[in-house]
Every structure is written in C-alpha cells, then in structure tokens.
Structure 1
C-alpha cells in the first residue's frame, strides 16, 4: 500500500499542465491619471478576466508612492510614468519597461484674461508645478522651461510646488500666474472658461510617451506568462479607447467621478465632454517606438543635467520588448 500512494501522486503530477496557472492575483498598481485609462478600461470591460488573469488593481496618487510599493513587494507591476523607472534603476531597483500606455497629457495653462500668452511671458511670474525631481518636474524644468522657453527654472521665475488638484484653484484666485498640469485638470479649466492653454507639450512633441507598464525583476522572472496576458489585455483596452471613443469617455468620466461643469456662457458641460476635450492633448498606444526610446533617453539626460541623477543611464537597459513580442504573437 505504501508504494501505491507515491505512484498515484506521480501519475497525477504527470497529468497536470506543464505551466499551471499561478493562483496568486497579479497586483497592479496604477497612477490614477486619465492617461492611464487602459488599466481601468481593462478592468471595467473584463479584458483581464478574458485573458484568464486574476488581478488586484490598486490606485495610487503618484509615481513615488508606487515606487515605494514596488520596492516593498506590495505590488507586482505598475502603470507608471517612465521617469520613476529609470530613477529606480539609478537607485538599484532592477525593473523594466515592458510596454507603453499613452502619449501626451501635459500643458502650461494661464488665466484666460491674464497677461501670459506664450512661454516667454512666464519670466518673473509664479508657476505651479509638482514635487521637485518628479517626472513631471523633470519635463517642466528640462524641456518646457530650459529648452522650449529658454528660461532658468530657478532664476527666471518662481516655481510653487503643490498637488495637481489644487492648481486650478490657485490659478483662479491669483496665488499663481500659470500652472503646469495634466488631464483632466487642463480640460476642466479650459471648459469652464477660466484657463487657456499656453503651451501643449504634445503639440510641440507629437506623440511623446509618458505612462508605461513596468515590472520589477522578481515579477519578470516569476510571472512571465501573467505579464504577457496583462499586455494582451492592455492592447485590447487601447483598441477600445480608439474604436469606441464615446463609450470609453463615459466609462472614464464615471470612473474618475467627473462632474458636469458650468461654462462661461452658462451652458452645462457634461462629464464625458471633459474627456473628449482631454483627447486633444493625449492618446493611447502600446507599442514602444524608436522615438519613444529617444524621448525617454532625453528625460534621463535632463535628470542628469538638473542634478536629479548621479549618472547617465542607457534607455535600452530599462526596456524589455520580449513580453510585448510574445503578446503580439499570441493575439
């Protein structure tokens, strides 16, 4: 009898598939920004489930908080800006970008009836931005101010750091003269008639990448099949955003709890119209193009020049295309 049980167990083991599904949920952290809509669309429309993927979707306010969650083993993969990934690498956290999520999203806005009409008008003014050294701060200081405007971020204007959700109120009340913002805050200001776009980064750099999907080495090694499933679900969500814009806009408006606005002429602007306006400055794409690599390298170089990184990294060292290639082959 004692010889029968091992034989039965061996037979059962042989009958199991070579790659049994991992019973653990894939814990996905995402920055709760409109540009990361593919994450919520994939969840809302069941694309993760359709791929046989059990996920836990966790929203975070910004990239640095997600960085801490990744380092602490609290999440397995992230929808996050590209800058935190190379910042992780510089600090010894081995992680790779495995796909793109979106392009565009940021702009400088000013009061509609104010004196700022171009970037050069920011000299001597007060500009709202986010935390020093963050990805958006690197984009603001390195590209918008130094390169596009020819201004010194530290000498030619006053930069005020504050949460993005507070910037429109600060602009409306005159606490600042302009703000470097992203969606939906830009569109909310524009549609209310209180703000206007002075400089659209996507207009100056069409298709520049921002949010990406990144995973630490542990996930890359232990859960490659789940990452491929994730990328297939991400691609389905992006296709839905492109092919069904009105339905997608309603899902986004509901998920972000956007409220109707009162325009300057007294008309009511429905929530989904805010998303439609935002599409003028952002879009979604999964493929990492050569131009995307070049732009991320540009951000790395800005970070070095600004003193936020001690050494220059090579963008090719933080991108792994193999998971996207497998996902594409299996569609």
Structure 2
C-alpha cells in the first residue's frame, strides 16, 4: 500500500513538473549559466543589484568555466538560459542543440599583446613566432584564426606560426618569461599586463572592429515555449544591469573588481595599481550593450563563415536560424 501511494505521488509530481502550466514549473527558478568573465558583468550586476528580483524572477545563477561547458549543461537540461560567447552557440546548434540568440551582452575585449621590448610591430611579424592562444576550435580561437591571422595578417594559422594552447590566466607569465612571443588575450588579463608595463598592444580587435559583439544571452527552445514571460523579464533585468554599468562606472568597477577577485598589480614605477583601475583600463577595450544591431548580426555571420572555412562547422549556417530579437523588443516596451 505504501509503495503504491509513493508511486502515485511521484507520478503526480512528475506530471505537474512536466506541464507548462503546472504550479511546479511556474515556481521553479530560472536556471541561468554564465561564463565567468568580466565581459559577462551584466549577469552579476543584475543579480547583486536585485534587478532579477525586481522583475519577479527567482534566478539560479551559475558561474561556469567556458562556452563548451555551458553548452553541455544546456544539453543535459541543467540550464534554461545562458550568457555565453557566440561561437559555441552556433557550433552546438550545428550538432542539434538549437538555442536562440536573444540579446547582446558586451562588445570588445580581445587584443594581441607582445613584450614591451618586442621587435614585432605588426601582425605579419608574428610569422615563425610562438603565440599563446586557447583551445583550437573554441570561440576565441575562431576569432584569432579566422579574423586576426588569416584576414588581417594574411598568415596561415596552421603553418606560419606556432599557436600554443594555454589558459588565459597563464599567458601573461608565459609572455614575460619568453616562453611565447605574443599572446591573444582578453580582459582583464590584457590590462593587468599593460599596467605592469611588461607588454604593449600589437593589435586591438576593438579598434579594428569597433564594438564587435561577443557574449550573448541565449535560451533553449523549450524555455522560450514554456516560460516566454520569464525570458522577457530576464532581458528587462539585463537592460537595467547594462544601464547601471554605463551610468555608474566607478561603483560598477568596484563591484566587478570584487566579484572577479582582481588583485592589485605593481606598475613599472613600483606603485600599486588598484583593482578598480584595472577594470577602468579594461573598459577602454570593453563595453556593454543589449541591442543586437544589424552590424552585430553581420559579424555573427562572419564568425559562422570563419568556423565553416576552418572546418569547425560542417555545414554553412545563417543568422536567421539562430537570432531572435522579438523577446528583446518585448523587454524594451
């Protein structure tokens, strides 16, 4: 009798949880993952400033290591939405995980840096050199190989130089010790190195591609179908967070420095440079915006074309398959 009662209860709970209109589904926290990177500060700001709560949302915010880990969590049903780089989204889309890109998170962030005394003065000078990069086929690797090296430098990324895969947190030390000749890095690592006086920028991607989009807000089709109003609420909170970042730079710099546990660095004159100053320096190459403009969508198409040309995606993709701005439009009303 007890077993039958427990079975009936479990079936009842499962039915409620699986129903789009069930009480359990309505009260379940919106599970949101984000790549733990400074560029994804809007996710942290929305949480810390109570913008999710103000919209009536209960958000379970999870910091994860990189885009592929986020995609794996989405595929496993462990997340409903995410703040993630664009390339992992379309790469996994091509494999069947058909998330939709709903809004932009940031623009800028990446640069090629070299030792402050390096003889290299252009990207073409990297031929025959060692360059610190990230895992082949990853989002930043697509940007490095497809745009920076092939398009801007006219180099064959597989034949003309040696790209050494390493965590971005290790790149500055590798550059300072002469293990590599250059590094393709992003914020705050670029600013930390520059403020120490140990490096200089060889190529700033944001100068070459002003306000190019990188991180985006995405959702699973199931989330869009079952919780469309919650998606709009999250995007409203996202807009509020970006407004706070842009309207209160000093306060937001402090929050970012604390959230990402940035440590002070010592400048070339021996003076200590505060973490907030690192964030302020980073913001010369990095900014935030929610809107997906026509130029942003065109750049996403370029990234998808790079990935196809480099052999990371089997079939060509079009932005019309992935980008849906209707939810952001609703959040703007």
Say if 2:210 is the partner of 1:224: no
Which of 269, 275, 278 is equivalent to 1:274? Answer: 278
Please say if residues 96 and 215 of structure 1, whose CA atoms lie closer than 8 Å, have aligned partners that are also in contact: yes
Please say if residues 170 and 176 of structure 1, whose CA atoms lie closer than 8 Å, have aligned partners that are also in contact: yes
Which of 20, 23, 27 is equivalent to 2:27? Answer: 23
Partner of 1:79: 83
Say if 2:103 is the partner of 1:99: yes
Say if 2:245 is the partner of 1:238: no
* Alignment length (residue pairs): 313
- Tell me, what secondary structure is at the counterpart of 2:26? coil
Partner of 2:199: 195
- Tell me, what secondary structure is at the counterpart of 2:102? strand
Which of 117, 140, 144 is equivalent to 1:140? Answer: 144
CA distance in 2, matches of 1:112, 1:34: 25
CA distance in 2, matches of 1:245, 1:57: 23
Say if 2:38 is the partner of 1:34: yes
1:222-273 residue CA offsets vs partner (Å, 9 max, x unmatched): 1111110100000000000000000000000000001111000111100000
1:195-218 residue CA offsets vs partner (Å, 9 max, x unmatched): 111101000000100000011111
Q: What is the deviation of 1:21?
A: 8.4
1:131-181 residue CA offsets vs partner (Å, 9 max, x unmatched): 000110000000000000111101111000111111111111111110000
Which runs of 5 or more structure 2 residues have no equivalent in the other structure? 1-20
CA distance in 2, matches of 1:67, 1:211: 14
1:248-304 residue CA offsets vs partner (Å, 9 max, x unmatched): 000000000011110001111000000000001010000000001100000000001
Structure 1 runs, 4 residues or longer, greater than 6 Å off:
17-21
TM-score (norm 2): 0.92
Which of 207, 212, 215 is equivalent to 1:208? Answer: 212
Partner of 2:93: 89
Say if 2:303 is the partner of 1:299: yes
- Tell me, what secondary structure is at the counterpart of 1:301? helix
CA distance in 1, matches of 2:326, 2:210: 26
- Tell me, what secondary structure is at the counterpart of 1:206? coil
CA distance in 2, matches of 1:187, 1:320: 34
Q: What is the deviation of 1:191?
A: 0.4
Q: What is the deviation of 1:117?
A: 2.1
TM-score (norm 1): 0.93
- Tell me, what secondary structure is at the counterpart of 1:22? helix
Partner of 1:161: 165
CA distance in 1, matches of 2:233, 2:196: 41
CA distance in 2, matches of 1:224, 1:201: 35
Which runs of 5 or more structure 1 residues have no equivalent in the other structure? 1-16
CA distance in 1, matches of 2:107, 2:137: 21
Residues 19 and 320 (structure 1 numbering): CA distance in 2 closer, same or farther, change over 3 Å? farther
